Amino acid sequence: MKQEEIDAWRQQALADGRLLIGGQWRAAEGARRLPVVSPIDGKTLCQIASASASDVDAAVRAARAAYERGSWSRLAPAERKKVLHRIAERIEAHQMELAVLGVRDNGTEIAMAFKAEPGSAAATFRYYAECVDKLMGEIAPTPEGTLGLVHKEPVGVVGAIVPWNFPLMIGAWKIAPALAAGNSVVLKPSEDASLTLLRLAQLCLDAGLPEGVLNVVTGTGAEAGEALARHMDVDILTFTGSGPVGRQLLKASAESNLKRVYLELGGKSPNLVFADAPDLAQAAKVSAMGIFRNSGQVCVAGSRLLVQRAVHDEVLERIQQVAASLRVGDPLDLRTEIGAVSSARQLARNQAMLQRALEEGARLRTGGQVIAPVPGGHYMAPAVLESVTPAMAIARQEVFGPVLAVMPFDDEAEAVRLANGTDYGLAAGVWTGSLSRAHRMVRAIQAGVVHVNTYGGPDITVPLGGVRQSGNGHDKSMHALDKYLNLKTAWIQL
Ligand code: NAD
């Protein structure tokens, strides 16, 4: 990756966005728009269209019409597979363009964005391309004289609502399996990061995805998102975002057509360091990045560090050193380790949560201050808090910012109690040299993923999703396909 190439793309002038409905790019009703403000320097990059309920209705109708036409839903699997591979090729061909566009929109450090956004989006399309012609039905073990066939069918129209952190990666986690299963999709990106998904939609058209199969309605959650959630002709909703919005979606489903709702929500993920961890320096370094990368705006961020008392002070000291040494700055500068906080609103929220922790008795070891490596931008120094107790808000509520809460524990039983002591259950980490302890912890901790002697990084082959108030669905892996398929039984008397 070369700095000159990044700098060339950062100069690119951006046109105002439109909605993609039925294969046509069009303005929102009344030509309403929302400004796109870059967190890098607070400047307005362009505008996106702000969809109304009637725009969303048009998108759902286009998706339904495309589904009924069958140009995608009934296309031979081998042909669908080719199109999904071509989409992956186009993402790869535009990898740097997409990465820089996304960073301008949401402030993720470029080295990470390059891999995690277009890099993983391309891998996701390739993975599900390969699944298309391997989706088998079943023959049930029925009594003689009968035949029970189980068909797997697309559900129809999928509504996908995604957040602003890693929009391309998370968008691909939903769009690619939904398309692989033969569905049509109406995508509602976050109003805080829509640009890469709009570009992806054009790449999908260029790759030969039939008109109307993928529709994109940008706009606010309260208007465009709500209209999609309440639409009577959307068959399922697949959502990644916050718990409060997840609750609203369940309510919208209950009050409309009972569409299936899959929720990938937040977390307050525990990262446990035992005294027998093989390499405390490595544990501290990886754990620091496990919370601070992308300014803590990662759903699986290890935001609670639980450390066995015998090594508590040493690990805390090491984490403090790593945190204080991280270079926070312009996310499009290759030397930057931590980029921008995505918006002024998010920065204010981080600061308020930090302030509350201090008022409740936590002590700040390092960081936490608002800084300005680029004038006008939103940046915060990685914060490490000690003397945190389980009752404090900082130990229970998601910040979604660069704030680490450190707590000691004495033994395994206390570690498990603390780890499971929130309403969430998204991710966890365990650092230990004992294979037996590692397996015990994997079973005891309530989470969708438990990392052992590492934090973060699983690829597309394994599922990601939470338990408890972290949600009820899984993205990634073959399991994600189940969300986008209906089972239909044929019962035949022979
Ligand atoms: P958010 O819930 O505020 O917004 C997510 C999406 O929902 C946006 O597109 C928004 O416009 C839309 N929305 C808002 N109100 C709506 C409504 N009433 N009806 C329909 N749609 C509505 O979340 P965010 O701030 O964009 O993202 C951060 C959250 O996402 C954090 O809680 C984070 O942990 C979570 N997250 C989870 C995962 C995961 O895989 N579990 C991954 C990334 C982020």
**Strand 270-273 and strand 157-161: pairing?**
unpaired
Question: Ligand 1: distance of its center to the CA of 138 in Å?
Answer: 36
CB of 319 within 8 A of CB of 384? yes
**426 CB-near residues (< 8 Å, 6+ apart):** 265, 266, 267, 269, 299, 300, 447, 448, 449, 466, 470, 471
Question: Ligand 1: distance of its center to the CA of 189 in Å?
Answer: 10
Which stretches of 94-131 are DSSP H helices? 95-106, 110-114, 120-131
**What is the pLDDT tens value at each position of the chain, 494 positions in all?**
999 999 999 999 999 999 999 999 999 999 999 999 999 999 999 999 999 999 999 999 999 999 999 999 999 999 999 999 999 999 999 999 999 999 999 999 999 999 999 999 999 999 999 999 999 999 999 999 999 999 999 999 999 999 999 999 999 999 999 999 999 999 999 999 999 999 999 999 999 999 999 999 999 999 999 999 999 999 999 999 999 999 999 999 999 999 999 999 999 999 999 999 999 999 999 999 999 999 999 999 999 999 999 999 999 999 999 999 999 999 999 999 999 999 999 999 999 999 999 999 999 999 999 999 999 999 999 999 999 999 999 999 999 999 999 999 999 999 999 999 999 999 999 999 999 999 999 999 999 999 999 999 889 999 999 999 999 999 999 999 999 999 999 999 99
Instruction: State the burial class of residue 426 (Cβ atoms within 10 Å of its Cβ: 0-12, 13-18, 19+).
Output: buried
Q: Whose CA is nearest to atom 8 of ligand 1?
A: 190
Which stretches of 257-308 are DSSP H helices? 280-292
* 3-class DSSP assignment, residue 4: helix
Query: What pLDDT was estimated at residue 444?
Result: 98
Rounded Cα gap, residues 48 and 216, in angstroms: 11
Query: What pLDDT was estimated at residue 211?
Result: 98
Rounded Cα gap, residues 156 and 259, in angstroms: 11
Q: Whose CA is nearest to atom 20 of ligand 1?
A: 225
* 3-class DSSP assignment, residue 389: coil
Which residues belong to the active site?
A: 264, 299
Q: What lines the ligand 1 site, CB under 6 Å?
A: 161-165, 170, 188, 190-191, 221-222, 225-226, 229, 240-242, 245, 248, 264-267, 299, 398, 400, 426, 464, 466, 471
Q: Whose CA is nearest to atom 43 of ligand 1?
A: 299
CB of 146 within 8 A of CB of 493? yes
CB of 1 within 8 A of CB of 114? yes
Question: Ligand 1: distance of its center to the CA of 245 in Å?
Answer: 7
Q: Which residues pair with 35 in a beta bridge?
A: 47
**Strand 304-308 and strand 379-380: pairing?**
unpaired
Query: How many other C-beta atoms lie within 10 A of the C-beta of residue 54?
Result: 12
**DSSP summary character for residue 454:** S
Question: Ligand 1: distance of its center to the CA of 56 in Å?
Answer: 18
What is the H or E stretch that residue 450 is in?
strand 449-452
Q: Which residues pair with 305 in a beta bridge?
A: 271, 406
Query: How many other C-beta atoms lie within 10 A of the C-beta of residue 429?
Result: 30
